[in-house]
Chains A and B, each alone.
Chain A
Amino acid sequence: MRWNFLALIGSVILQFFGAVGRLAMFTGKGLLHCVTPPFYPRILLRQMLQIGYYSLPVIGLTAFFTGAVLALQIYIGGARFNAESLVSSIVVLGITRELGPVIGGLMVAGRVSAAMAAEIGTMRVTEQIDALTTLSTNPFKYLVAPRLIAGATMLPLLVLVADVIGVFGGFVVGTEKLGFNVGIYLQNTIDFLHMDDVISGLVKASIFGFLISLMGCYHGFMSRGGAQGVGRATTNAVVSASIMILTANYIITELFFAQ
């Protein structure tokens, strides 16, 4: 009994390190193929469109309402300390530093990594990935590399859009509902807007975009066993991408942007 218990612990640990190793190898291979030819510009463009352009409505809506509710909450919370005037500055700071990249990342994770895992997973179980290899095409170059590049480049652009729309959401609520003066609100926003805040958000976004694509591709590639396997891969991709975004967000902030 005792040995069985130890064996159980052992096998769990082995499985864990096995998974970490597989993911590390996959990431390394993916990165290597991002920088070595041949490149597939058509596929890259299609992925950029898929990740970037088609995510705009989702990102726009979430950013607008996030900015709006942030303004509302700060006003309510700030009223307790007579600090209502901080609404505009906290909205711009919160959106550019945290909420833009994180909420944008999570929304794109739900939309994009699920779609990638489902597409690549189906390709795996219907032998399309094997077919790529037999047609002298490296599946890493053809499937993984364009998605990684598209993820890492498109998410910062999306977050930039989210920043603008989020701040605009706060502005609308602040001036239309809470009665702030348009000029003063804008002045405060501009005064508190630092380039560093925006850039830190965009750097984060780029890493999140990479993680989203990585999880979508990895779980799709590893999926086994028909429709159920693809379903599991899709769920795993979204869940792991979301967790990685939140974890990476803390680590990046702690390491580079916390003064």
Chain B
Amino acid sequence: MSTAATSTGHPKISLKGVTKHFGPKQVLRGIDLDVQRGQSLVIIGGSGTGKSVMLKCILGLLHPDGGTIHIDGQDVTHLNGRDQEAVMSRMGMLFQGGALFDSLKVWENVAFGLIQGKGMPRDKARDIAMAKLAQVGLGADVGELSPAELSGGMQKRVGLARAIATDPEIIFFDEPTTGLDPIMGDVINDLIVKCVKELGATTMSITHDMASARKIADRVAMIYEGRIIWHGMAGDVDHSGNDHVDQFINGRAEGPIQMQIRKL
């Protein structure tokens, strides 16, 4: 998976000096980050450090205040409407809570991007959806259920099937293992690695689960206070020489990162 080949010369995703604030709160303070084609980048960092905001900026769900975002060399920073939809059609996203449409059946959820986004006939889209469900280990009977009838792990798997349904070039994972037991978490990790390998997609994941990060990452970047403070190969994360990274991956309360909690 770690082929850092850049045949077109551009990184697949490139962020330069991206900033974003909400009211007085500066969330992103200048993010610089490149992801090469076919690479799997995992961004680690604590809660409230700007991971999700960064992801939403790349997806175009939020517009950054400053800086630029390029995908395949194309500036997508301030795209809207049709142009944004065109870029979106090359991306997939697995949301933290699954974000399945509860008014639709499971297979309609998986087929949504094919039917609404690409205008595929329902019958054909249904076949593809069932195949994608099988790919994440779910039978055709699950396809007829409504999302509310599924367990958390199954919802995540359906979310994954939906994210890969349109064979996207880039897939984003937002906390893919949060809220799952360790075994189901590992099942999801394996599925992510398998699906991404089969698609040859570039992926960007955010997580604070180190087990998950080690499993799915080629490269790891750590975000802290709205900046990327460390970026390197996944194998180097244990001897990064960065105190912040050490504290995070070992899960220590003492260190340079101080949680904002009041002393009793």
A and B bind: yes
A133-B60, A134-B59, A137-B112 are known contacts. Are A127 and B95 too (CB-CB below 8 A)?
Answer: yes
Selected from B56, B91, B99, B113, the residue in CB contact (under 8 A) with A128 is B99
Interface residues of B in 60-100 (CB under 8 A from A): 60-61, 81, 84-86, 88-89, 91-93, 95-97, 99-100
Contact size range, B: 20 to 34
Q: Which residues on the A side are within 8 Å of B116 (C-beta)?
A: 40, 135-137, 142
Closest 10 CB pairs of A and B: A136-B117, A131-B99, A127-B99, A135-B113, A134-B93, A136-B89, A136-B85, A136-B88, A137-B116, A127-B95
The reply to whether A133 and B97 form a contact with Cβ atoms under 8 Å apart is no
Given A130-B56, A130-B61 in contact, is the A137-B117 Cβ separation under 8 Å? yes
B247 → chain A closest CB, angstroms: 30
Complex Cα gap A137–B112 (Å): 9
| Chain B residue at minimal CB-CB distance from A128 | B99
Q: What residue of chain A has the Cβ atom nearest to residue B118's Cβ? A: A136
Q: How far is the CA of A24 from the CA of B133 in the complex (A)?
A: 42
A residues neighboring B (CB under 8 Å): 38, 40, 119, 123, 126-128, 130-131, 133-138, 142
- Complex Cα–Cα for A126 and B117 (A): 21
Cα(A40)–Cα(B103), bound, Å: 15
Q: Are the C-beta atoms of B91 and A127 separated by less than 8 Å?
A: no
Is there an interface contact between A126 and B99, defined as CB atoms closer than 8 Å?
Answer: yes
How distant is the Cα of A137 from the Cα of B113 in the complex, in angstroms? Answer: 8
In the complex, the answer to whether B61 meets A133 with C-beta atoms within 8 Å is yes
22 residue pairs of the A-B complex, CB under 8 angstroms, read A40-B116, A127-B95, A127-B99, A128-B99, A128-B101, A128-B102, A130-B59, A130-B61, A131-B99, A131-B100, A133-B84, A133-B88, A134-B59, A135-B88, A136-B85, A136-B89, A136-B116, A137-B85, A137-B113, A137-B116, A137-B117, A142-B116
What are the residues of chain B within 8 A of A126 when measuring CB–CB? Answer: 97, 99
Contacts A136-B85, A136-B88, A137-B112 given; does A131 touch B93 at CB 8 Å: yes
